[in-house]
Amino acid sequence: MRMVDLIEKKKDGLEHNEEELHFIIDGYVKGHIPDYQMSAWMMAICFQGLTMQETILLTKEMMYSGEILDLSSIHGIKVDKHSTGGVGDKTSLVLGPMVAACGVPVAKMSGRGLGHTGGTLDKLESIPGFCIQIEKDDFIKQVNECHFSIIGQNEHLVPADKKMYALRDVTGTVACIPLIASSIMSKKLAAGSDAILLDVKYGNGAFMKTKEEAKKLAQVMIDIGHSLGKDTRVTLSNMSQPLGNAIGNSLEVKEAILTLLGKGPDDLFQLCLQSGIQMLLQAQKTKSLQEARQMLMKVIEDQSAFHVLCQMVKSQGGNEKYIQHPELFENAKEIIPVYSIEQGYVKDLKARDLGLVSMKLGGGRASIDDVIDYSVGLILNKKIGDYVQKGEVLLYVHTNHELSSELKDEILKAYVFQNEYVEKPTLIDEVLQ
Ligand code: URA
């Protein structure tokens, strides 16, 4: 077999078989196929697409390119959760403890943030002492004991995706549904859980700009999951504005703590509640939506979800006093209010642009080896649907440097106003399975 013939085949819109896909993925991981041929093939996929059968076969080839985690010594049905990424998305820090407190084991691997989106690992590392790299046996022991652990992505997991994703990033081949679906699902399937809940986001701050695109991606991932016998469900959620009010690492941890204590922003709590209901159903804790909701409300009211977070932080070497007393987190040197120069209802709040502002303050990475300043970020005071008077505070900038006029301008431009009433957006539109 020759790679050049397979590139031609895909360019002509023809279907690959299992043997051909194995040749491509195996050859690329082993270094027999060079980057230039792989990128030509992936570009052909961007134009010609893949059939569902090809997408499933590609996912399997990618999944088996490395280690498959064996979580069978964790008791119970393990449900993994994945979000396609957004701004202010601290869901794992709230949803994980809520579901774990209901007795569902959550053994999660997360990634770091890049560009406008923040990563769960960076947020956790803002807690002094917290360790994201623990031995597999300790990870399993911790999940058996407190039902919850989040660790860094195992580097032996899906090496094919690591190489392909880095190449896609620089060859304009990221935004392609079969390539995104196989990338996400190969990692989720290799991570060893029994069921998977995916939060596919759409809107300004997300990969998928429209609900229709998000739905297509969701359906492909569900079909992949089902073909491998995993209960796979998707919440389609609107990322037209940041989730919650906090953007930035320790600011988001503090907001997650507040939410676990029942005092957080409603949009974040509702998303965690809706997702948690699905996860309890997937873990077969109950068959009733109503009962799942009651179980989740109870672990907030009796603070058992909050205690799971404390226990998890302690087990992973973090200083749990920061969770019990969030005022211990170091504050940025300055907290600067940004005042509105317009009035009206907030119609749009560009999540991506605010994510980039937080990154430029030092709260995120422009490139992979940038060092993060955990204390900086933004706290939103106004969101879509709020009425704003001229001179009212839109948001607070937490910074260790002066706020440049360019950044202030970017913040002001992220808010779009109109005179007519604006309804607050619904967050979860649909659950697909
Ligand atoms: N996230 C992934 O892991 N892969 C993609 O291709 C896109 C988003």
What was the pLDDT predicted at 413?
97
Q: How many angstroms does the Cα of residue 78 sit away from the middle of ligand 1?
A: 22
CA distance 295 to 363: 35
Q: Which atom of ligand 1 is nearest to the CA of 183?
A: 4
Options 92, 110, 183, 240, the catalytic residue: 183
Ligand 1 pocket test target in 81, 82, 84, 202 with most atoms within 8 Å of CB: 84
Ligand 1 pocket test target in 46, 116, 174 with most atoms within 8 Å of CB: 174
pLDDT means per 10 residues, the chain with 433 residues, are 98 98 98 97 98 98 96 94 88 97 93 77 95 92 94 88 90 92 95 94 83 96 97 92 96 98 96 96 96 98 98 97 97 97 96 93 84 95 98 98 96 97 89 91
CATH number of 3-49: 1.20.970.10
State the fold for domain 330-418.
Aldehyde Oxidoreductase; domain 3 (3.90.1170)
Residue 334 forms beta bridges with which residues? 399
Q: How many angstroms does the Cα of residue 180 sit away from the middle of ligand 1?
A: 5
CA distance 160 to 53: 19
Which residue's C-alpha comes closest to atom 7 of ligand 1?
A: 180
Give burial (CB, 10 Å; 0-12/13-18/19+) of 134.
middle
CA distance 41 to 49: 11
What was the pLDDT predicted at 373?
95
CA neighbours closer than 13 Å in the CB half-sphere of residue 274: 19
What was the pLDDT predicted at 312?
97
Nearest Cα neighbor of 4 from 29, 48, 41 is: 41
How, if at all, do strands 79-83 and 415-418 pair? Answer: unpaired
Does the beta carbon of 183 lie inside 6 Å of ligand 1?
yes
Q: How many angstroms does the Cα of residue 85 sit away from the middle of ligand 1?
A: 9
Per-residue DSSP letter, 330: P
Q: Which atom of ligand 1 is nearest to the CA of 180?
A: 6
Does the beta carbon of 157 lie inside 6 Å of ligand 1?
no
CATH number of 79-324: 3.40.1030.10
Instruction: Show Cβ contacts of residue 314 under 8 Å, excluding neighbours closer than 6 positions.
Output: 320
Numbered ranges of CATH 1.20.970.10 in the chain: 3-49
The interaxial angle of helices 159-169 and 177-190, nearest 10 deg, is 150
Give burial (CB, 10 Å; 0-12/13-18/19+) of 368.
exposed
CA distance 145 to 312: 10
- The reply to whether 39 belongs to the active site is no
What was the pLDDT predicted at 1?
95
Which residue's C-alpha comes closest to atom 1 of ligand 1?
A: 184
Stretch (H or E) spanning 35: helix 35-48
- The reply to whether 82 belongs to the active site is yes
Q: How many angstroms does the Cα of residue 88 sit away from the middle of ligand 1?
A: 18
Q: How many angstroms does the Cα of residue 177 sit away from the middle of ligand 1?
A: 10
Options 80, 89, 161, 194, the catalytic residue: 161
Does the beta carbon of 206 lie inside 6 Å of ligand 1?
no
What was the pLDDT predicted at 369?
79
Q: How many angstroms does the Cα of residue 42 sit away from the middle of ligand 1?
A: 14
Numbered ranges of CATH 3.90.1170.30 in the chain: 330-418
DSSP 89-129: --HHHHHHHHHHHTT--EEEEE---BTTB--HHHHHHTSTT
What was the pLDDT predicted at 37?
98
Numbered ranges of CATH 3.40.1030.10 in the chain: 79-324
